[in-house]
């Protein structure tokens, strides 16, 4: 099992709450090493800094100061109660304060899944602290004309249980299911990919149900095993301790982020950008990145074939090569 160095606990400066008052400061668990241009690796849901374990040392060896936090709400980092603490202002604010604590002027932000949304938000909200962006599976999407959950509800025909993002919205519902058996989340979902056509056929057979989280016990095991027993134990122990509230709370801010930041998906990004798609990612399909050149002025795009959603773990060598080649060319 590829390893990350032992983490440091870094206390961040307090952020301003919705009422204008300063909130209690939080601390993040952060793995760090290397010298050179700084790159911050941002995980998604339901993941951890651990998900970047196979990228850490190659990036350090390539000459980059590599910083990998458990983000707010995850792992050994603090997890404030209440979804209002997990909007994009807080998530990007954490990264600015993390750079301040590490005395770094600016960094490249690489994000996968939800971490990708945060990475693409950095050059919009904090352009002076951003050197470049790498999206892994997650594109810089255009702005929805209506609130995101409303658009998803239309797509689901009003059946909120069929789309996990909608099912996540009601506080306590998803937590009551996932917290009971964290191990099954990773046993059933964190697996190697199958061809997109086969996955689409399975969704069609399930009457368009895109919510595996509420029916994990009945879900067939799809794709070959991806995690070793040791790796599976690591995820299980981390989420047994933390629960899923923090990560799920990010989803409860889709509409809030849409309301607070009308510039997302509209404002063009001029920073150097790399978009890495995965051929078999059903959740973040490569087609979603097709029109990104209209929103990114300095963009390279490449697809990893026969790869699903868990790119860092399914195709680590290929991902490492693509990231390091681009980073060395643009920042090395």
Query: If we measure between CA atoms, which residue out of 74, 5, 54 comes closest to residue 312?
Result: 54
Q: Tell me if 25 sits within 8 A of 13, measured CB to CB.
A: yes
| Structural element, H or E, at residue 8 | strand 8-11
Out of 70, 78, 87, 113, the active site residue is 113
Concerning whether 19 is annotated as a catalytic residue, the answer is no
CA dihedral 30, 34, 38, 40 (to 10 degrees): -30
Query: What are the DSSP calls for 117-153, one per residue?
Result: HHHHHHHHH-GGGEEEEEEES---PPPPSS-HHHHHH
Within 10 angstroms of residue 201's Cβ, the number of other Cβ atoms is: 12
Concerning whether 113 is annotated as a catalytic residue, the answer is yes
Integer Cα distance of 251 and 265 in angstroms: 18
Task: Please count the CA atoms within 13 angstroms of the CA of 107 that sit on its side-chain side.
Answer: 27
Q: Tell me if 49 sits within 8 A of 29, measured CB to CB.
A: yes
Within 10 angstroms of residue 20's Cβ, the number of other Cβ atoms is: 6
Within 10 angstroms of residue 67's Cβ, the number of other Cβ atoms is: 26
Give the contacts of 180 (CB within 8 A, at least 6 positions apart).
none
Question: What amino acid positions are annotated as catalytic residues?
Answer: 113, 309
């Amino acid at each position: 099992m590829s390893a990350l160095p032992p983490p440091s606990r870094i206390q961040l400066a307090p952020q301003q709450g919705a009422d204008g008052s300063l909130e209690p400061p939080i601390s993040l668990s952060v793995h760090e090493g290397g010298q050179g241009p700084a790159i911050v690796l941002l995980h998604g849901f339901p993941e951890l800094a651990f998900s970047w374990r196979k990228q850490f040392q190659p990036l350090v060896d390539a000459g980059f100061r590599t910083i990998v936090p458990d983000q707010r709400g995850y792992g050994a980092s603090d997890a404030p109660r209440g979804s209002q603490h997990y909007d994009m202002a807080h998530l990007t604010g954490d990264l600015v304060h993390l750079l301040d604590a590490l005395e770094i002027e600016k960094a490249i932000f690489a994000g996968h899944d939800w971490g990708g949304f945060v990475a693409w938000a950095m050059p919009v909200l904090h352009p002076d602290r951003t050197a470049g962006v790498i999206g892994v599976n997650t594109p810089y999407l255009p702005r929805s004309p209506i609130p995101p959950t409303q658009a998803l509800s239309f797509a689901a025909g009003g059946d909120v249980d069929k789309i996990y993002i909608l099912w996540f919205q009601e506080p306590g519902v998803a937590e009551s299911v996932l917290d009971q058996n964290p191990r099954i989340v990773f046993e059933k979902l964190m697996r190697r990919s199958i061809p997109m056509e086969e996955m689409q056929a399975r969704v069609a057979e399930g009457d368009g149900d895109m919510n595996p989280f509420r029916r994990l016990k009945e879900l067939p095991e799809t794709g070959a095993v991806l995690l070793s027993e040791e790796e599976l134990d690591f995820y299980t122990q981390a989420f047994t301790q933390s629960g899923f509230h923090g990560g799920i709370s990010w989803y409860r801010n889709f509409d809030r982020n849409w309301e607070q930041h009308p510039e997302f998906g509209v404002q063009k990004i001029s920073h150097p950008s790399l978009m890495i798609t995965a051929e078999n990612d059903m959740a973040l399909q490569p087609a979603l990145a097709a029109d990104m050149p209209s929103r990114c002025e300095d963009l390279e795009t490449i697809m990893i074939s026969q790869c699903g959603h868990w790119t860092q773990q399914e195709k680590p060598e290929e991902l490492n090569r693509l990231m390091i080649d681009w980073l060395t060319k643009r920042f090395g």
